[in-house]
Amino acid sequence: MTDLKSAKESRICDTLARLKQEHLLRQEICLESPADSHVILEGKEYLQFASNNYLGLAGNPRLVEAAGKALARYGVGSCGSRLTTGTQTPHRELERALANFKGTEAAVLFNTGYAANSGIIPALCGKGDVIFSDELNHASIIDGCRLSGAITVVYRHNDMKDLEAKVREFHGGNRMVVSDAVFSMDGDVLRLPEMLDIAEKYGLFSMIDEAHSTGVLGKTGHGILEHFGISKFPDLLMGTLSKALGAEGGYVCCSNIMSDFLRNKCRSYIFSTALPAATAAAAREALAIIESEPKRIEKLQDNIAFFLQELGRHGIRPSTASAIFPIIIGDSQKAVDIGKKLKHEGFLISAIRHPSVPQNAARLRITLMATHARPEISQLANALAKNVRK
Ligand SMILES: *Cc1c(COP(=O)(O)O)cnc(C)c1O
């Protein structure tokens, strides 16, 4: 018995030891405050440039109040899946608000963005079908493709010529193209108009993931469609409530028919307890704030332009079109070391390593928020210039 146990454990220990040796062992930090631009960590205050709370809404009093009211009225847990007893008024209201926000007939709420992607893709595609997926798509999309059992054809990053060539080459039953709208580790924007043209020309389902574009792109923060000023819609406009909206959950905006289909066929929708009503109420309040306070989006976009300008003064020119700034370092240990130095100087920044990014493409992933002040952004640019040797 003990021998068996130690054999089991030794395999796990080997894996951990290998990760450590490759500088890929990860450990959590624990914040003692909301996920704001200033956070408390180990009793000390840091200037945070690592959160996806782009509009600073996670700790916003209006969200907290909306959640509190719903908490008092509906209790903590929903204690049922959406199709049994888990649907409460705030879920319905949020779905309506999301559909209105994106301009679609319907919206379907999921517990996380991960659950949305890993559930929607296998609902639409299975054996005999073909999925075309950008090589830098988020892990939740990759997992959805794997779960589906369909053939997944990976095309070169944001390369619509390569996509079209592969669409001409690979045939099957249902065919679908799926992509991040803003790529989560690189910050660049999908060439959506070309992608939608290809999808239309070849009769593919189209799905985009607006995790990092909702609340960020477009003059009023409505996302990638507003950014490009186009009125064509993908079949599935998926996103998360957990980033610029400051709450938790995933969603997909789509037609009524697609909504009915997904509610009946998505396993992650059917076999999981609905979000707490309080979370849904908070997300709905976030949408209302975005609609009524466009200045927040303006401030975020102004911060982005200012940071690029400040970095440029130091000869650092990350390529980005969003609130995500990748500063590519390459070596994992080096990226971690620079992250530590910056922490010592009072900045909280994520060093991103494999498997979140390819091997030898470790980077600092800096994210801006509407609540950062210009002098804070200048300070960070100066610190980066000092610590990142180009
Ligand atoms: C964060 C993220 C997700 C997952 O969303 P969660 O709500 O965190 O589960 C999905 N897609 C992309 C592109 C993301 O960045």
* pLDDT tens track for 190-215: 999 999 999 999 999 999 999 999 99
**pLDDT of 44 over the 60 cut:** yes
Omega before residue 355 within 30° of 0, cis: yes
Pocket test for ligand 1, best of 114, 145, 214, 216 (most atoms within 8 A of CB): 114
What is the per-residue pLDDT for 33?
Answer: 95
Residue 6 among the catalytic residues: no
What is the per-residue pLDDT for 356?
Answer: 86
What is the per-residue pLDDT for 127?
Answer: 97
Strand partners, 109: 251
What is the per-residue pLDDT for 390?
Answer: 53
Q: Distance between terminal CA atoms of the chain?
A: 55
Max CA-CA distance within the chain? 65
Q: Select from 303, 263, 333, 281 the least CA-distant residue to 116.
A: 263
Distance 238 CA to ligand 1 centre (A): 10
Q: How far apart are CA 222 and CA 239, in angstroms?
A: 11
- Phi, psi angle pair for 169, to nearest 5°: -90, -40
**pLDDT of 162 over the 90 cut:** yes
**pLDDT of 2 over the 70 cut:** no
> Per-residue pLDDT tens for 255-314?
999 999 999 999 999 999 999 999 999 999 999 999 999 999 999 999 999 999 999 999
> Which run of H or E residues covers position 62?
helix 61-74
Q: How far apart are CA 357 and CA 362, in angstroms?
A: 7
* DSSP letter string, 270-299: HTSBPPPHHHHHHHHHHHHHHHH-THHHHH
For the beta sheet containing 350-352, the strands, ordered from the edge strand earlier in sequence to the opposite edge, are 324-330, 362-367, 350-352
Average pLDDT over residues 149-161: 98
**pLDDT of 132 over the 60 cut:** yes
- Counting from 1 in the atom list of ligand 1, the atom nearest the Cα of 117 is 10
Does residue 140 have its Cβ closer than 6 Å to ligand 1? Answer: yes
Instruction: Work out the pLDDT band at 389, boundaries 50, 70, 90.
Output: low
Nearest 10 degrees: Cα torsion 296, 298, 300, 301: 160
Asked if 262 and 108 touch (Cβ cutoff 8 Å), the reply is: yes
What pTM, to 2 d.p., does this model score? 0.95
**pLDDT of 137 over the 80 cut:** yes
Distance 274 CA to ligand 1 centre (A): 18
> Per-residue pLDDT tens for 219-238?
999 999 999 999 999 999 99
Q: Is 82 helix (H, G, I), strand (E, B) or coil?
A: coil
> Which run of H or E residues covers position 376?
helix 374-387
Instruction: Work out the pLDDT band at 3, boundaries 50, 70, 90.
Output: low
Does residue 350 have its Cβ closer than 6 Å to ligand 1? Answer: no
Q: Select from 224, 254, 13, 247 the least CA-distant residue to 120.
A: 254
CA atoms within 13 A on the CB side of 101: 34
DSSP class of residue 329? E
Q: Select from 202, 217, 352, 224 the least CA-distant residue to 290.
A: 217
Geometric angle at alpha carbon 152, from 147 and 155, rounded to 5°: 140
What is the per-residue pLDDT for 359?
Answer: 86
* DSSP letter string, 138-178: -HHHHHHHHHH-SEEEEE-TT-HHHHHHHHHH---SSEEEE
What is the per-residue pLDDT for 246?
Answer: 98
Average pLDDT over residues 331-337: 91
Distance 178 CA to ligand 1 centre (A): 14
* Beta-carbon contacts of residue 360 (< 8 Å; ≥ 6 apart): 330, 331
Does residue 112 have its Cβ closer than 6 Å to ligand 1? Answer: yes
Q: How far apart are CA 332 and CA 354, in angstroms?
A: 8
Secondary structure in 3-state letters for 223-244: CHHHHHCCCCCCCEEEEECCCC
Q: Is 98 helix (H, G, I), strand (E, B) or coil?
A: helix
CA distances from 100 to 222, 236, 293 (A): 11, 15, 17
- Counting from 1 in the atom list of ligand 1, the atom nearest the Cα of 249 is 7
Residue 34, classified by CB atoms within 10 Å of its CB into exposed (0-12), middle (13-18) or buried (19+), is: middle
Does residue 53 have its Cβ closer than 6 Å to ligand 1? Answer: no
- Phi, psi angle pair for 211, to nearest 5°: -50, -45
